[in-house]
């Protein structure tokens, strides 16, 4: 039986912001879908003031025709290396007993006396907790959530760099009665996840509030421009969501 042949069509109109590419390789009766997904930041200059545009969160979503994912492990299901975070727990020690009295991020030992005159001292010890931060996480219904490498800055970090480095994303199998395989992938972002910040510019003799208001207006304009230039193709998509990259793989 002759191996299936596929035609790929990439659409990455915002070339500085993201790139999505697919490749399908047949493996017996199944197919491996490989993916390369990259993110960057865009620059925009308006009246001598430079703006930086980036994305703080994105979703890679697949639409499948004539096929479905197998039960094999998908990219993002693997356990990543843990990141260690430190919490300091403060305890009060009195007459050979130890009781927790709260949590503090400082370190040291305090000595004093309580109301009954008993001597006591406060000990603070560091407890290491392993917390896993997953930049790319497999989600239900053939989708993946992408976050920045650091997620500890209240959602202000931007996704930058390679999220999926030409790795196997998942395995596919034909549906019973399916004539041909079609895979459509989109990098979707919400309007709230588009971040615009001012960089540089001459603020002499200008009120700060004026600049701040202008920056906010420019930010809205740039967000609308991104949505207008995005690779949108699904008619029922919400106005608050845009597909900044799109890739189609169609069996010939």
Sign of CA dihedral 65, 70, 72, 77: positive
How many Cβ atoms sit within 10 Å of the Cβ of residue 126? Answer: 9
Q: How confident is the model at residue 80, as a pLDDT? A: 56
Closest C-alpha among 23, 3, 4, 20 to residue 12:
20
Q: How confident is the model at residue 32, as a pLDDT? A: 97
Q: How confident is the model at residue 166, as a pLDDT? A: 93
Alpha-carbon distance of 163 to 165, in angstroms, equals: 6
Q: Give every residue of the chain whose pLDDT is below 70, as ranges.
A: 1, 78-134, 151-156, 200-214, 218, 232-239
Rg (CA), the chain: 26
Closest C-alpha among 251, 246, 240, 130 to residue 189:
240
Q: State in Å, rounded, how far the first CA of the chain is from the last one.
A: 15
Which helix (H) or strand (E) covers residue 131, if one does? Answer: strand 119-131
Q: How confident is the model at residue 219, as a pLDDT? A: 74
Sign of CA dihedral 231, 233, 235, 241: negative
Q: How confident is the model at residue 36, as a pLDDT? A: 95
Q: How confident is the model at residue 126, as a pLDDT? A: 55
How many Cβ atoms sit within 10 Å of the Cβ of residue 119? Answer: 10
Alpha-carbon distance of 219 to 213, in angstroms, equals: 10
Distance of CA 1 to the CA centre of its chain: 41
Alpha-carbon distance of 98 to 169, in angstroms, equals: 51
Which residues neighbour 53 within 8 Å (Cβ) at sequence distance 6 or greater? 17, 41, 42, 43, 44, 194, 195, 196, 222, 226
Spatial contact of 8 and 248, defined as CB atoms under 8 Å apart = yes
- Partners of 184 in beta bridges: 63, 248
Spatial contact of 246 and 185, defined as CB atoms under 8 Å apart = yes
The predicted model scores a pTM of 0.70
């Amino acid at each position: 039986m002759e191996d299936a042949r596929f035609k790929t069509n990439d659409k990455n109109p915002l070339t500085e912001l993201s790139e999505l590419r697919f490749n399908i390789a047949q493996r017996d009766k199944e197919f491996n879908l490989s993916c390369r997904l990259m993110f960057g930041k865009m620059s925009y200059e308006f009246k001598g003031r430079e703006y930086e545009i980036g994305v703080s969160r994105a979703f890679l979503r697949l639409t499948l025709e004539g096929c479905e994912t197998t039960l094999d492990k998908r990219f993002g299901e693997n356990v990543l290396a843990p990141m260690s975070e430190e919490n300091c727990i403060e305890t009060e020690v009195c007459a050979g007993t130890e009781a927790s009295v709260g949590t503090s991020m400082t370190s040291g030992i305090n000595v004093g006396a309580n109301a009954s005159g008993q001597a006591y001292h406060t000990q603070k010890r560091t407890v290491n907790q392993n917390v896993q931060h997953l930049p790319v996480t497999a989600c239900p219904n053939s989708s993946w959530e992408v976050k920045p490498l650091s997620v500890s800055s209240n959602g202000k970090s931007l996704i930058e760099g390679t999220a999926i480095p030409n790795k196997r994303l998942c395995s596919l199998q034909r549906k019973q009665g399916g004539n041909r395989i079609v895979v459509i992938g989109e990098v979707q972002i919400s309007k709230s996840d588009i971040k615009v910040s001012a960089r540089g510019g001459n603020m002499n003799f200008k009120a700060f509030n004026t600049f701040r208001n202008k920056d906010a207006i420019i930010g809205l304009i740039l967000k609308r421009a991104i949505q207008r230039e995005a690779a949108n193709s699904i008619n029922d998509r919400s106005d608050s969501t845009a597909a900044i990259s799109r890739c189609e793989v169609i069996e010939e």
